[in-house]
Amino acid sequence: MGLDFSVVPDYLDVIFLGALWTIAITVGAALLSFFGGIFFAVIALYAPILIRLPFRGFEWLFMGTPLLLQLFLIYFGLVQIGIDLPAFVAGVIGLGLHFAVYNSELIQTAIVAVDRGQMEAARTLGLSRGQALRKVVVPQAVRDVIPPIGNNMIALLKDSALVSVIGVTELTLSAQLAIGRTYRPFEFYVIAALFYYVINLGMEAVLRRIERRIQAAR
């Protein structure tokens, strides 16, 4: 039995729709992981100990356990305590928080590395510590780690396939549906891979643009 790509066009719309879901999940989770990462970094560094310690536990939970398990926990587990999230939302939250923790680690290091004189200059002008962090220190720290955060975002795109297990018909699950009808796994997995690759290229282009724009401001 040879390869036969002629069945593919009939299912292109399904695959295409799946690709759109993948993009939607990735963009949603990427935004959550970016802003969540900043928020977590500030908590990890500056919150009072009573908040910082439980937060450490939460971080450990997200870094030390499989993403797959986290998705199950958020989607199937939370229902038992009355939080019934749509699969898409659960997927975005799971992916987003998971990568927020990794981004937070990067941003924490960068915040600590910002020259002490920056905080001093801001305080000297009369800014409070919080204002100085928000307007002077954190923006610089985030700029410094945009490239490694970009790498995390690429990883996030690829890990978005895991969201298929809680029933979001994203790219990988769409390919599986088409395979279920046609028994042509090779063809559809290759097509799905191609779509992932194209989305990846688009994402890298966006990241490069952001990097170029912040380059001037150094």
C-beta of 122 vs 173, nearer to another protein: 122
Q: Which stretch binds another protein (CB under 8 A): 1-9, 45-53, 100-108, 116-124?
A: 116-124
Q: Does 147 bind another protein (CB under 8 A)?
A: no
C-beta of 144 vs 170, nearer to another protein: 144
Instruction: Please state, as a whole number, how many other Cβ atoms lie within 10 Å of the Cβ of residue 149.
Output: 22
The structure tokens listed for 9 are: 């066009």
Considering all CA atoms of the chain, what is the largest pairwise distance in Å, rounded to the nearest integer? Answer: 76
C-beta of 61 vs 146, nearer to another protein: 146
Q: Does 217 bind another protein (CB under 8 A)?
A: yes
Q: Does 17 bind another protein (CB under 8 A)?
A: no
Question: What angle separates helix 146-159 from helix 87-113, to the nearest 10 degrees?
Answer: 160
List C-alpha distances in Å: 126 to 131, 132, 135, 139: 9, 9, 13, 19
Q: Does 122 bind another protein (CB under 8 A)?
A: yes
**Residues 7, 8, 87, 143: which binds another protein (CB under 8 A)?**
143
Q: Does 97 bind another protein (CB under 8 A)?
A: no
Q: Which residue has the tokens 């945009």?
A: 146
